[in-house]
Amino acid sequence: MENLQAMLQSSTPVLIDFFATWCGPCQMVPPILKEVKDKLGEQLRIVKIDIDKNPQLAAQWQISSVPTLLLFRDGKPVWRQSGVVPAHQLVPLLESHI
């Protein structure tokens, strides 16, 4: 995950989707993120992290429920949200931080 560290330090904001394969609501997130990516394009990178395969990252950022979205800008977390957020609400929230 050292490439993740480099990605977080870049000037492009990074949205991390923390999810688990057993999580029902997590299945609703990918189409929402696709819509976000279609609207925001290169302004934002989106990364998916499975908390069961990366427990150290989940612990590092205190992810206690999934899905959780965590937005990083210049290597620092600037916004987080647990639960499913519809794309029409998520896009303006992200735009205010990027």
14-39 pLDDT, tens digit each: 999 999 999 999 999 999 999 999 99
When pLDDT is cut at 50, 70 and 90, the band that residue 12 belongs to is: very high
- Catalytic-residue membership of 26: yes
Catalytic residue among 4, 7, 23, 84: 23
Contacts of 18 (CB under 8 A, 6+ apart): 49, 51, 57, 58, 61, 63, 66, 67, 68, 69, 70
Residue 13 is classified by DSSP as -
Tell me: pLDDT of 6 over 70. yes
CATH number of domain containing 54: 3.40.30.10
- Catalytic-residue membership of 93: no
The structural domain count of the chain equals 1
**Model pLDDT, residue 2:** 63
Q: Distance of CA 88 to CAs 6, 39, 43, 93, Å?
A: 30, 10, 17, 9
Catalytic residue among 15, 16, 26, 66: 26
Domain that holds residue 81: 2-95
Distance CA 19, CA 69 (A): 9
Matching residue, tokens 């429920």: 65
Tell me: pLDDT of 76 over 60. yes
When pLDDT is cut at 50, 70 and 90, the band that residue 68 belongs to is: very high
